[in-house]
């Protein structure tokens, strides 16, 4: 498996196919996710990585420093007490947000998600990483917990998403930015 930077615009159809298979989306949901992705492609500071096996995209992730222009971001930071002394991540500055991470089901439990997350987050300067996941995605919750992420007790949006965060390991190698277990 090879994990490399990914040009989302050039790989849009493969990215959507992976996301659709990973989440069992129908055509309507896939089209809606495609519209979101097309809008995000032009986001300044957006980083994306892809995992390829035998030339085929088997997973991808993308993220960016948290942007207050995202309605959910303002909500999460307000809930966490984005002020000195307010909340477990207050005083650490703004987080890096992992916006999407999806792995084709045929490649689950093979280290693809971990490799994507490490490659995406290793070069960032933020001291903590924030992501959201569907509350019903308990396997994803266990995956992120194994990497050192904790649920923050903050719901996001009306679709049942929960926020999770991890601090970056101090003194760890760049390929392993999280404490994790």
pLDDT in tens, the chain (181 residues): 999 999 998 999 999 999 989 988 888 888 888 888 888 887 778 899 999 999 999 999 999 998 877 777 777 777 766 544 455 666 667 789 999 999 999 999 999 999 999 999 988 888 889 898 888 888 899 999 999 898 887 777 666 888 888 886 554 333 345 544 3
Please identify which residue in the block is written with the tokens 């995406």: 120
- So what's the pLDDT on residue 91? 63
What's the CA angle centered on 46, arms 137 and 6, to 5 degrees? 80
What's the CA dihedral at 20, 26, 32, 37 to 10 degrees? 10
Q: Residue 98: enclosing H or E segment and its boundaries?
A: strand 96-103
pTM across the whole model: 0.85
From the number of C-beta atoms within 10 Å of its C-beta (0-12, 13-18, 19+), residue 77 rates as buried
Please identify which residue in the block is written with the tokens 């088997």: 58
How many angstroms separate the CA atoms of 33 and 18, rounded?
12
Please identify which residue in the block is written with the tokens 């300067």: 125
3-state DSSP call for residue 118? helix
Ordered structural domains, the chain, with CATH: 2-167 (3.40.630.30)
Question: What's 57-91 look like in SS3?
Answer: EEEEEEEEECCCCCHHHHHHHHHHCCECCECCCCC
Residue 148 contacts residue 166 (beta carbons within 8 Å): yes
């Amino acid at each position: 498996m090879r994990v490399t930077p990914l040009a989302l615009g050039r790989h849009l159809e493969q990215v959507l196919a992976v996301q659709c298979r990973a989440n069992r989306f129908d055509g309507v949901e896939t089209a809606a996710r495609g519209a979101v992705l097309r809008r995000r492609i032009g986001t300044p500071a957006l980083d994306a990585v892809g995992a390829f096996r035998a030339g085929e995209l088997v997973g991808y992730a993308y993220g960016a420093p948290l942007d207050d222009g995202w309605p959910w971001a303002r909500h999460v930071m307000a809930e966490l007490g984005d002020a000195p002394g307010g909340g477990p991540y207050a005083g650490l500055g703004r987080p890096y947000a992992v916006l999407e991470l999806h792995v084709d089901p045929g490649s689950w439990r093979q280290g693809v998600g971990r490799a994507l997350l490490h490659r995406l987050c290793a070069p960032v300067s933020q001291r903590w990483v924030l992501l959201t996941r569907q509350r019903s995605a308990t396997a994803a919750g266990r995956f992120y917990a194994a990497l050192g992420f904790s649920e923050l007790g903050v719901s996001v949006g009306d679709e049942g998403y929960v926020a999770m965060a991890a601090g970056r390991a101090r003194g760890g190698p760049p390929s392993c930015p999280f404490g994790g277990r």
